[in-house]
Amino acid sequence: MFAKEFAGISTSTIVDEIGRKGYFKHTAAIDHSAVDAMVHEFGPNRVAVNHHGISPVCFGRTWYLNQVLAQSKLAFDLITSDKVLDIGEGVLGEEFRLTTKRYYTTREGARMAWHRDNKDDPERTSPLNGLIFIFYLTDVTEGAFQFVEGSHLFDAGTDKANFSDEYIAEKFADKIITYTAPRGAFIVYDIRTIHRAKPFSGIDYERSSLFFGMMSEPTLSEPVLINTSFFDSLDDRRKYYLGFGKREIAPAFPTTSVKTMDDQNTAKVLQEVSDYGRSIGIHLNKDGPRIEDNEFVAESDLATISGPRPLQNNSGGRISSLFRRKHP
């Protein structure tokens, strides 16, 4: 999966550069064929209604799929690769845990504040050691990763983890690096670095990336779901890294609900549900859904549809009647 030239760069070169500069980047870290195959494994970005499996969530103008280790074998192989783990060990020492991971797609209008990642509270940084890896999965011409060079080492005048655009522009304009690069490029940086994804507007463009982080602090991890078909054994280093048998305290990022969907996706979900509803005689009017009189599936038919035990009715027949509506 790693491109030849990148695979040939020694871990010590990468670790030394992170030590000196706070980051290391390479414009051709993974082959385009592996990038495309990974994006295919992640699947399309859409809100899946009543669907078994891992699916993305819509958070404003950004799609997130947090459980990448359950969804993509290539992402699993990359995140648990020797190359990644050796870099982690070189910078953080023998024990470090995967704290966060996500496949995400940023669309026009997405906004992210300048921030540091060494925090367990948006208002305060903490003395945490860690690294973030970002792999670009689309050619990044807009919405690129931006960072303030050297900011992992300096006091930014506040111990807050988030900064306003004005503050950064005023203090550090000459230190901002904007990392536009082709798909397959990557950057790994110290979590104390001040950074953001550059906002963009007025252009129909999407940026997709794989992002994951590791910290020496062992408890700040998000929940990890893994597809067990992706490996047949794991060594102790990987078991620790993935948090086998360990507790985690961070919620899966980002926290979402029906209210975090943008207007377009709310409309799409409503359309999908209302098209289906209409096809079985449920119509939306100004007072809410209206159910036409219709024929219901017999209890015995339901048993064959849903398995040996029909759904239990604990609401006076109304809800289970809905479940039993016959398809036209």
**Which positions lie near ligand AKG, rule CB under 6 A?**
134, 145, 195-197, 209, 211
35/134 with CB nearer ligand AKG: 134
Alpha helices (runs of H) in the chain, residue ranges in sequence order: 4-7, 11-21, 32-42, 68-71, 73-79, 82-92, 165-172, 236-242, 263-279, 299-306, 318-323
DSSP 8-state symbol, 198: P
Residue located via tokens 């999966």: 1
Taking the complex as a whole, the smallest distance from the CB of residue 124 to ligand AKG amounts, in Å, to: 16
Residue located via tokens 């050796």: 86
Reduced to 3 states (helix: H, G, I; strand: E, B; else coil), residue 234 is coil
Q: Is 215 exposed, middle or buried (0-12, 13-18, 19+ CB in 10 A)?
A: buried
Taking the complex as a whole, the smallest distance from the CB of residue 175 to ligand AKG amounts, in Å, to: 17
Q: Which two tokens stand for residue 141?
A: 């011409």
Taking the complex as a whole, the smallest distance from the CB of residue 112 to ligand AKG amounts, in Å, to: 6
Q: How far apart are CA 60 and CA 197, in angstroms?
A: 15
6/135 with CB nearer ligand AKG: 135
145/240 with CB nearer ligand AKG: 145
Residue located via tokens 């969804």: 71
Q: How far apart are CA 139 and CA 288, in angstroms?
A: 44
113/298 with CB nearer ligand AKG: 113
> Beta strand pairing status for 282-285 and 176-181?
unpaired
196/324 with CB nearer ligand AKG: 196
Taking the complex as a whole, the smallest distance from the CB of residue 195 to ligand AKG amounts, in Å, to: 5
DSSP 8-state symbol, 44: -
200/211 with CB nearer ligand AKG: 211
180/227 with CB nearer ligand AKG: 180
Taking the complex as a whole, the smallest distance from the CB of residue 176 to ligand AKG amounts, in Å, to: 13
Taking the complex as a whole, the smallest distance from the CB of residue 147 to ligand AKG amounts, in Å, to: 9
What Å distances lie between residue 249 and 32, 219, 246, CA to CA? 35, 6, 10
Taking the complex as a whole, the smallest distance from the CB of residue 321 to ligand AKG amounts, in Å, to: 45
